[in-house]
Amino acid sequence: MVVDPFSASTPICAPDVPAVSVARLTDPTAVKDGLEVVSHDVISLVEKPFLAQRIVVRLGGCVLLFHQTSHRLRTYAKVEESRMAIVALGPRAKATYDGVSMHPDTLILAAPGAETELVVEAGYCSVTLLISPEDILDHLAARRRNVEFRVPSNIEFLRGTGSTTHTFFNLAKRVALTAKRNPIMFDQNASVRLAANQDILEALLSVLRQKATFEFTQTDLKKRKYSQIIKTAVAHAEQNVEDPLYVSDLCRVTDVSERTLQYAFQEIMKTTPMAYLKLLKLHRVRDELRAASRGSTTVTALALKWGFWHFGEFSQAYKKCFHELPSETLRT
């Protein structure tokens, strides 16, 4: 059975959800916990203590997310069906979206329900605005603004001109950090949330008004193909977790040579196919250990389920990845 990382979460309209929530994350498998509107499935690509920060600010009709991490990691993200996501990167952030290298002047637009895979480098920082397309259109109509806006069909990229994208990022980051310092002001004052919402929308419209066409290079197109090869290989591995896995199997399901398969993983993930899939399975074991109730399963059962038959090597690899033994995870 394949673990579904996108289980139901708390709706944003729940009355007991605060306007501001701040999370200091030390476990990559906990990134998706308590996060509504967009789902994350994170795989840490380096074996060192994990550290990330997430700030969520609920501004009435939209949600603002601020992320930063000290880790190189792979995130598989899915936007909920009622909102689109607009992402801007920090000035020193390095990341690829579905294999395409992003730059700080690039705005990423994800349609409602869109899914994307991104690989981020240490020091990554971004802001994400989650908003219904209707709210953007209503904002434009109320101000009689002649700004071309089209809801993306999937994942689209825009290049801002001048400093418009940087202005949008800096404003959204400032709102998030202000909310972190003074959450009560946002919790108890609807006018503060509304004012911040309007300012962020105005900054976004400035980017849309002065956008430039995003041109894919030949390298971008090649890396997009590499990203699709990886997705196909990973899907096969997760659907056949109890069977022995060989590189030849991955070549068969992706319809590429072993050399191309190795290039794809090295180019996007900076590791080999088997090393990445081992990391993936370790994270899946941890997901299930964290979700298990007392007495419902054992470390041995889950290790075998995910293809680890040498229990000593499994425990060592698990501890190296998560800095605790699997038995300790199950106990807590």
pLDDT average, residue stretch 264-274: 94
46 and 195 belong to one structural domain: yes
Residues 60, 181: one domain? yes
Q: Residue 79: phi, psi to the nearest 5?
A: -90, 145
pLDDT digits (tens, 9 = 90+) for 180-210: 999 999 999 999 999 999 999 989 988 888 7
Mean pLDDT of 277-283: 93
Query: Mean pLDDT across the chain, nearest whole number?
Result: 88
Specify the pairing of strand 106-110 against strand 155-159.
antiparallel
Same domain as 246, residue 117: no
Q: Which stretches does DSSP call E strand in 82-201?
A: 84-89, 95-97, 100-101, 106-110, 115-120, 125-131, 155-159
User: Taking the chain, what is the end-to-end CA distance rounded to the nearest angstrom?
Assistant: 24
Please give the C-alpha separations between residue 57 and each of 155, 235, 245, in angstroms, as whole numbers.
Answer: 23, 33, 43
Q: What is the CA radius of gyration of the chain?
A: 21
Q: Which of 209, 228, 248 is the last residue of a domain?
A: 209
Q: For residue 10, which amino acid is it?
A: T
Residue 245's pLDDT is 84
Domain of 177 in residue numbering reads as 20-209
Residues 247-274 have a mean pLDDT of 95
Contact 104, 132 (CB under 8 A): no
| Of residues 27 and 7, more confidently modeled | 27
Q: Would you say residue 296 has pLDDT above 60?
A: yes
Instruction: Give tens-digit pLDDT for 16-63.
Output: 678 999 999 999 999 888 777 788 899 999 888 889 999 999 997 899
Q: 271 pLDDT exceeds 50?
A: yes
Q: What pLDDT was estimated at residue 149? A: 77
| CATH value at residue 141 | 2.60.120.10
Q: How confident is the model at residue 13 (pLDDT cuts 50, 70, 90)?
A: very low
* Cα–Cα distance, 137 to 139 (Å, whole number): 5
Residue 12 clears pLDDT 60, i.e. is over it: no
Least confident of 72-81, 193-202, 231-240, 242-251: 242-251
Residue 9 lies in a domain: no
Domains held by the chain: number: 2
224-246 average pLDDT score: 90
